Structure formats: C-alpha cells, structure tokens
Amino acid sequence: MIKLGINIDHVATLRQQRKETEPDVCEAARIALASGADSITVHLREDRRHIQDADVEALCEFVPRLNLEMSIAPEIVSIADRLRPKHICLVPEKREELTTEGGLDVVGMIDRITEVVQTLQSEDTEVSLFIDPDKAQLDAAKASGAQAIELHTGDYANYDQEPVKQMAELQRLHEAALYAHSLGLVVNAGHGLKYHNTDPIVALPHMNELNIGHSIICRSVFVGLSEAVKEMAVIVKAS
Ligand code: PXP
C-alpha cells in the first residue's frame, strides 16, 4: 500500500503571517498521524518563511517518520546533521519562488550532492532527491549514493487544463518510476497533487510514498484537518 506523507508547511505559513503561536504545527502533525498519515514532511527553508528551526526540533521528538525537505546550503545541512530526521529530501531552493520550482539538478551538482548524501545518509536516515522524471537525473541520483528519489509531479499537476500535455507528463513519470526501480531506488512522488488528480499517480508502478501538502491544508479550512487527511488517505491507499 502506498504511504501518505503530509506536508504541514502551510500550517506554519498561517502562524508566521501574524508571528503568533497558533496554529500549532505539532498539533497538526498529531492530527495528521491519527487520521491516516504515514509520515510528516516539513521544509526548513533558508529564509524561514514558514517552518522554524524549533518546529523541526519539536517534531523530531515525537514524529516516528519525519521527512525534512531541505536545500544543500551548508547551514541547513549542519542542522539536519545534528537533528538526524528519519528521512531527508534534498530540493532546489530559490528565495523568490512561491514554492519549489522543478527538480534538483543532480547532474549539474553531482559533487556537492554526493557530499551531502554521504554526510547525511546513514542506517537511520534515508536521503531522497527531488528530481524531474528524467533518465540522466535518475542516473546521477543513483551515482550520488542516495537511496530514494521523489519524482516531481508539479508539471503533471500544472497541466490540469491541458489533457494531452498532462498524459505526456504522466507517461514520463511512468517511465521514470520503472527506470528508478530498476536502479534499485525507492520511488516517491509529490508536488501539486490535489484530490482530483492524484489517482493516476497512485496507479504508477513501484510507488512507495506520496508527499502532499497545499491541497490538504486548503481543504482543511472547510472540513477540518482530520477529515481532509482521511479523504486523501482513501485516494492514496486505494492501491
Ligand atoms: N514534495 C516536495 C519535494 C516539495 O517541495 C513539496 C512542497 O513543499 C511537496 C512535495 C508538496 O507539494 P504541495 O504542497 O504542492 O502538495
């Protein structure tokens, strides 16, 4: 059965807008875990626009499978090295972006990425690379020594109004999932997934885990976080 990782960054976005103490991200994590989430994902961005260092520390204390999304900036790498979450997903990061744009260029940064993988990956910590569904990037991910990849589904999701392009992107994801598995990589996916476009991603081969955030937090405004997570868990665990 495919696992569901819930990204709770936007609970912190709401809190940071007023620099308040609520909504509490730890409470959000507890509700998500009690409602069908298998893991909790947070992105500690260099600009700290939502998740703060103290959030990651607090979540590490009680979340059994915490997935820390992060850039390869030395400051962030040293925080991850100290906290040692169960999972780490290396992502590209630009200050001016609204959310992560595209996958990591593992081919272009192979030396630095290999160094970060070697620093952070251990028996207790799995490192995943967030990449586009591209054979050269998958080969480079394998060469870096990372155990897992997360396929970037953002382009697939962005083509919601263009079915032909969306089918082509789904085919790319399908081929990438097969190829990644043949290389021995754990295959995850995420970004931009919503209640109406996740079924085809669930049907991709060898899928281990989907990481979904924004759409679930949006839905929770109307139905509550527990119900929003449960509804997505039904879709993801239909496999
Ligand atoms: N996976 C990765 C690597 C991401 O950077 C993000 C966004 O933080 C997500 C999944 C979740 O994306 P969304 O919030 O669009 O569901």
Read off the pTM: 0.96
In 45-108, which ranges are E strands? Answer: 66-70, 87-90
Tell the burial category of 37 from Cβ atoms under 10 Å away from its Cβ (0-12, 13-18, 19+): buried
Atom of ligand 1 nearest to the CA of 211: 10
For residue 155, report the distance from its CA to the centre of ligand 1, in Å: 12
The confidence score (pLDDT) of residue 20 equals 84
Give the angle 183-136-90 at the CA atoms, nearest 5°: 80
Q: Quick check: CB of 99 below 6 Å from ligand 1?
A: yes
pLDDT digits (tens, 9 = 90+) for 217-232: 999 999 999 999 999 9
pLDDT digits (tens, 9 = 90+) for 157-194: 999 999 999 999 999 999 999 999 999 999 999 999 99
CATH class held by domain 3-236: alpha beta
Name the residue of 211, 220, 232, 235 to mutate for ligand 1: max ligand atoms within 8 A of Cβ: 211
Gap between the Cα atoms of 15 and 153, Å rounded? 27
Q: Where are the domains of the chain?
A: 3-236
Q: Quick check: CB of 56 below 6 Å from ligand 1?
A: no
- Backbone φ, ψ for residue 197 (5° rounding): -125, 15
